[in-house]
Every structure is written in C-alpha cells, then in structure tokens.
Amino acid sequence: MARPSERILRMSSVMKLAIEVFENENLAITWMKTPNQALQRAEPLDLMDTEPGAVSIKAVLNAIATGSAA
C-alpha cells in the first residue's frame, strides 16, 4: 500500500489534470466520483490508491482532452 504522502501527490497530479481537462473544479470532482466505463465502471477516485490506477485515470483524461473518448 502506498504511503499517505505518495497518495496525496498522486491525487494532486490527477486532480490538476482533471481540472485542466474539464476547465472547472466542480466538474472535475464530479467526474472523479462517477463510475467510468473506460475504467471498468470504477469511480476514478477509487483507483487513486495505486500508481497503475492513477496512470489509467490520466490516460482516460488525456483521451477526453484530445477527443479520443466519449
């Protein structure tokens, strides 16, 4: 399990990207709490405990930003 400081840094990095993608903090937070089909219906926030989970979330956010995902 990740140390708390690692999880905080990971969450900060992912949230910063989500806010950039959605251009709105509230929309980013809502997206993080909503089951996502690209993440096997998991809520992005639930995947933040691991680096692979954060990488998956960032990949989905990047796809949304580039128009590669619905």
Domain edges within the chain = 4-66
Instruction: Note the pLDDT of residue 44.
Output: 97
Q: What is the pLDDT of residues 2-41, one digit of tens each?
A: 577 888 999 999 999 999 999 999 999 999 999 999 999 9
Angle at 61 between CA 69 and CA 43, to 5 degrees: 95
Query: What are the distances in angstroms from CA 54 to CA 47, 48?
Result: 6, 5
Residue environment code for 7-23, b if the CB has 16+ CB neighbours within 10 A, otherwise e: beebbeebbebbbebbe
Instruction: Note the pLDDT of residue 34.
Output: 98
Instruction: Note the pLDDT of residue 68.
Output: 82
Residue environment code for 42-52, b if the CB has 16+ CB neighbours within 10 A, otherwise e: eebbebbeeee
Instruction: Note the pLDDT of residue 69.
Output: 59
Q: What is the pLDDT of residues 48-70, one digit of tens each?
A: 989 999 999 999 999 999 998 55
